A and B are shown apart, each in its own frame.
Chain A
Amino acid sequence: MEQRGGTILAVEHLTMRFGGLLAVQDLSFSVERGQITALIGPNGAGKTTVFNCITGFYRPTQGRIALTNGTPLSRPLLDRLTGSSLRHLREGTNEVFLLERMAGHEITAKAHVARTFQNIRLFSGMTCLENLLVAQHNALTRASGYSVLGLIGAPSWRAAEARSIERASAWLERIGLIGRADDPAGDLPYGDQRRLEIARAMLTDPVLLCLDEPAAGLNPRESAALSALLRTIRDADGVSILLIEHDMSVVMEISDHIVVLEYGLKISDGSPESVRDDPKVIAAYLGVDDAEVAGAEAELDATVAGRST
């Protein structure tokens, strides 16, 4: 796979502790620009926790999360930024953000990282169109002159509003929901809600899109449509994708790069082929390997038999 522009997100030595539980331990991986990177692992491995650290919902116990805009990550710039107390630093066309220092909304507004949620979080009492307009909040707030131009109905505001509606409609068209633009988001079937949430995240103009189990609850046809959508987001919109997914058919089909977590530790990292054949990954997904399973079963049988006598 050719690397278009190198690393966009570098996660280094990320650790997240909840009381006595180490949800993520010393995790390092990177997301390459223009690629789909998948983060997989059994339930409770800490995948969503990693997302929450990247998008500012949790403050990591330790570690550095660096995002760069535009050009490949510049190490000297990153080191200077880390040494300072700033949140982001720009040098020419090079700009680096330290996400662990930023608040959740800033990460979306300034660093342009967007996300979706494992349990869909649409504004269910607002229409599909309204959901997509809320996503353009920051750009529209500036266009509305912080509400002043909007209140007096200035022509520049009207034009900006019309453009935002056009963008939203284009996305509704793209995800096949234009006919339901005026229906409340909460009324949509599950698969449609997942696509609408992705469109909403895309309308924040992200450079990196983080999707938490977008194929959960989809039927095979919807999963295939989702794979196609994610590919066009990568290829046509030029947005890098970080994806958590349990559906291996989707993961293996569209990922350029896979990172595997188990109990908060990275156990494998590489191309789909290398990860698929990694014995550690197979063990993690099947519990242990076959010989050990047989052994454990025999042991268990013996214990049970021993107890019942």
Chain B
Amino acid sequence: MRDARNKPLASGRPATIAAFKDAALVGLATLGLGFPILAYRTEQNISNQLIIEPRWALAFSFAGLAFALRLAWLMTSAGRSSIPTWSMPVLSKRAGDTISRAGLGILLAYPFLALWITGPGGAIKWIDNFGIQILIYVMLGWGLNIVVGLAGLLDLGYVAFYAVGAYTTALLSTHFGLSFWLCLPLAGMFAALWGVLLGFPVLRLRGDYLAIVTLAFGEIIRLVLINWVDVTGGYAGISSIPRPTFFGIPFNATETGFAATFGLEFTPLHRLFFLFYLILALALLTNWVTIRLRRLPIGRAWEALREDEIAAKALGIDTVITKLTAFAIGAMFGGFAGAFIAARQAFISPEMFVFMESAVILAIVVLGGMGSQIGVAIAAIVMVGGTELLRELDWLKAIFGKDFDPTQYRMLLFGLAMVAIMIWKPRGLISNREPTIALGAKKSISSSLVREGHG
């Protein structure tokens, strides 16, 4: 009897986690309930007009206070027994489909919505910094998901393939004048080739060893880009990469430009709209191919490899070829994304392909739930969108002083998000595995049965 009652106290870790969860929910509830009263205040200005004064700092401070107090209360032994257990709602298959479809609709309408809500000035920021930037990471996350989530091979050097794609496009277009539409498939092919080249030496490695060699590979590529000055321009990078054209029609103010051809008034937004839909198409292609491949023998072999390599071998699966295709196809999508970024920025340098990028992409895959397409997309929106949002939080200057720069806290936000996810959902946001085929209705498979691979 006594033992049973003392159990939550005795097992300290779960109790602390439960307390943390509970306190965070209380903090969120405070924010939700309090924001109508706290976040906005109506005042009269000099000309007697009623204006709204935002007081977000106050709302967040109250939420933080509620969190801290609740946590402190739960940490005392009196409060411990009162921790309720929360269970995460599980999305049904149909709900998941509806969400995907709604998400796609919003994505297609997004640039127009941004233009409509924020006007031409604000739309540039919302389409470029949020829309395009997030979609690049969604695509990179989906590409890496093939290697890490499906085949279970931990790759810490994914940014190398992104770099190969970007430099392929930059060099081919500046030296040989190839158009973006030719560079795009070539960039994917080169990156896939490098994926195979990386794959060969690491085939026998597992776990930590695989992670370290892939990390080293990423660094080697970056160092080559820095030091092979004749070709890559070293630290200076490559500039004036031709911008992508609308199937041959450039986005400029000339007679033959996009605006003139279609009888529109010239605005830089045209190019942004085009880039947005281009990266959206590339990301959706990545998603479509991944979903298709999962249902083909090759995709099932990847997952079998992740589940149990020895059993896969005993079934006659060539594990060498299977791993190499995973590396190659993952790398190919990284290469496509690289081609896009080169054309979008018109300038690339080795600084864009540091290890931090690999870490961010891997974090997106792990937080999203390895193997889950929707999870990775959500994680990319939260992680990349979140850091972009930090630029908007100027009101924090009021609390922390004029020199406070919220964007400096990007990594802190990443870290906090990681910690929170690892407490709530150690296997990522969407950790359940969807079967690739079913005789009856598909039932998702609990993450406790799904293995994460050996490296």
Contacts and interface: CB of A to CB of B under 8 A. Distances in A.
A117 B314 contact: yes
Given A126-B435, A165-B437, A182-B438, A121 B297 contact: no
A137 B316 contact: yes
A203 to B, nearest CB: 8
B188 to A, nearest CB: 15
A150 B297 contact: yes
A134 B300 contact: yes
A146 to B, nearest CB: 8
Residue among B303, B311, B441, B446 with max Cβ neighbours from chain A (10 Å):
B311
B315 A182 contact: no
B391 interface: no
B437 A138 contact: no
Interface string B282-301: 00000001001101111011
Contact of A184 (B317, B441, B445): B445
Interface of B: 289, 292-293, 295-298, 300-301, 303-304, 307-308, 310-319, 433, 435-443, 445-446, 449-451
A105 interface: yes
Interface string A117-147: 1000111111101100111111011001001
Closest 10 CB pairs of A and B: A125-B450, A108-B316, A109-B316, A123-B307, A121-B311, A186-B449, A150-B296, A140-B297, A141-B297, A182-B438
Contact of B316 (A57, A105, A150, A184): A105
Interface string A94-113: 00000000001110110000
Contacts of B301: 134, 137, 141
A181 interface: yes
Chain A interface residue number, banded? 35 or more
Contacts of B308: 121-124
A183 B313 CA distance: 23
A136 B317 CA distance: 9
A121 B451 CA distance: 12
A127 B435 contact: yes
A114 interface: yes
Nearest to A111: B316
A135 B315 CA distance: 6
Interface in A164-186: 165, 169, 178, 181-184, 186
Given A108-B316, A183-B443, A201-B314, 14 more contacts: A104-B313, A115-B314, A117-B310, A123-B303, A125-B433, A127-B437, A127-B445, A133-B297, A138-B316, A140-B297, A147-B296, A165-B437, A178-B439, A184-B449
A305 interface: no
Nearest to B309: A121
A68 interface: no
Nearest to B442: A182
A144 B297 contact: yes
A298 interface: no
A187 interface: yes
Contacts of B317: 105, 134, 137-138
Contact of B315 (A178, A181, A186, A200): A200
Contacts of A135: 315
A115 B303 CA distance: 20
A178 B438 CA distance: 11
B311 A133 contact: no
Contacts of A141: 297-298, 301
A151 interface: yes
Contacts of B295: 150
A181 B318 CA distance: 26
Contact of A187 (B319, B449, B451): B449
A37 interface: no
B451 A124 contact: yes
A147 B296 CA distance: 7
A105 B304 contact: no
A126 B318 CA distance: 19
Contact of B319 (A57, A105, A150, A182): A105
Contacts of A178: 439
Interface string A262-288: 000000000000000000000000000
B326 to A, nearest CB: 12
A204 interface: yes
A133 B300 contact: yes
Nearest to B289: A151
A55 interface: yes
Contact of B298 (A125, A147, A182): A147
A121 B315 CA distance: 11
B59 to A, nearest CB: 43
Contacts of B437: 127, 129-130, 133, 165
B316 A204 contact: yes
6 contacts: A125-B433, A127-B435, A130-B300, A134-B315, A150-B296, A151-B296
Contacts of B438: 127, 129, 181-182
Contact of A122 (B311, B318, B436): B311
Contacts of A129: 435, 437-439
Nearest to B304: A134
A204 B312 CA distance: 11
A105 B313 contact: yes
Contacts of B436: 130
A72 B300 CA distance: 37
Contacts of A181: 438-440
Contacts of A137: 297, 300-301, 304, 315-317
Nearest to B311: A121
